[in-house]
């Protein structure tokens, strides 16, 4: 807490975390904002409390003195505390379970497939292409992709 803030430091214009929204998104946004000024670990820890409110701020202020030795430690403790606030992430299995069906036009299915695939973290494009081919109904379009 004794670490001085960089010259020209200004408060962030981000929504303060209250324990009810996506904690990963909050940490990413926070780190991005701080990194505009510095990547100093002590400053990341010191200023983190300014990005919190409500029960999250109360949690931070109740951390025992000396219990945080790095920003990674702080993020780990924060993540454990608010793990239940993580949104349900769409998994690869959701994509693999899609089927075009005889009544769904190709364009409609492809739009649906794309809207789901972009929500899957670290989806390998080759795997996505393979799954797409497996989920399309057989026909001239699929045949043209194989040849």
Scored b (16 or more CB within 10 A) or e, 73-107 reads ebbeebeebbeebeeeebebeebeebebeeeeeee
Domain housing 70: 23-85
Tell me if 137 is assigned to some domain.
yes
Report pLDDT for 37. Answer: 84
> Do 74 and 104 belong to one domain?
no
Q: What is the pLDDT of residues 106-115, one digit of tens each?
A: 899 999 999 8
Cα separation, 131 vs 118, whole angstroms? 14
Tell me if 38 is assigned to some domain.
yes
Tell me if 6 is assigned to some domain.
no
Tell me if 1 is assigned to some domain.
no
Q: Of 52, 85, 118, which residue sits at a domain end?
A: 85
> Do 77 and 114 belong to one domain?
no
Helix/strand number for the chain, H first, E second? 8, 0
Answer yes or no: are the C-beta atoms of 37 and 9 closer than 8 Å. Answer: yes
Cα separation, 129 vs 4, whole angstroms? 50
Phi, psi (5° rounding) for residue 64?
-65, 140
Report pLDDT for 3. Answer: 80
Tell me if 105 is assigned to some domain.
yes
Q: What is the pLDDT of residues 78-109, one digit of tens each?
A: 999 998 887 666 777 888 889 998 888 889 99
**pTM of the predicted structure, to 2 decimals:** 0.60
């408060």: which residue's tokens? 11
Domains: count for the chain:
2
Tell me if 121 is assigned to some domain.
yes
Tell me if 17 is assigned to some domain.
no
In the numeric block, which tokens belong to residue 6?
């960089």
> Do 76 and 116 belong to one domain?
no
> Do 75 and 122 belong to one domain?
no
Cα separation, 89 vs 68, whole angstroms? 29
Report pLDDT for 147. Answer: 65
Distance of CA 83 to the CA centre of its chain: 13
Q: Of 69, 85, 101, which residue sits at a domain end?
A: 85
> Do 97 and 81 belong to one domain?
no
């Amino acid at each position: 807490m004794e670490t001085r803030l960089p010259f020209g430091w200004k408060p962030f214009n981000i929504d303060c975390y209250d324990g009810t929204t996506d904690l990963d998104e909050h940490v990413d946004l926070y780190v991005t904002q701080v990194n505009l000024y510095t990547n100093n670990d002590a400053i990341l820890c010191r200023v983190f409390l300014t990005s919190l409110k409500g029960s999250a701020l109360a949690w931070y202020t109740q951390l025992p003195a000396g219990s945080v030795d790095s920003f990674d430690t702080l993020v780990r403790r924060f993540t454990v505390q608010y793990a239940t606030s993580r949104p349900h992430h769409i998994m690869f299995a959701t994509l693999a379970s899609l089927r075009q069906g005889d009544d769904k036009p190709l364009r409609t299915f492809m739009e649906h497939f794309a809207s789901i695939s972009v929500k899957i973290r670290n989806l390998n494009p080759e795997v996505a292409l393979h799954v797409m081919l497996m989920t399309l109904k057989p026909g001239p379009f699929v045949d043209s992709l194989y040849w």
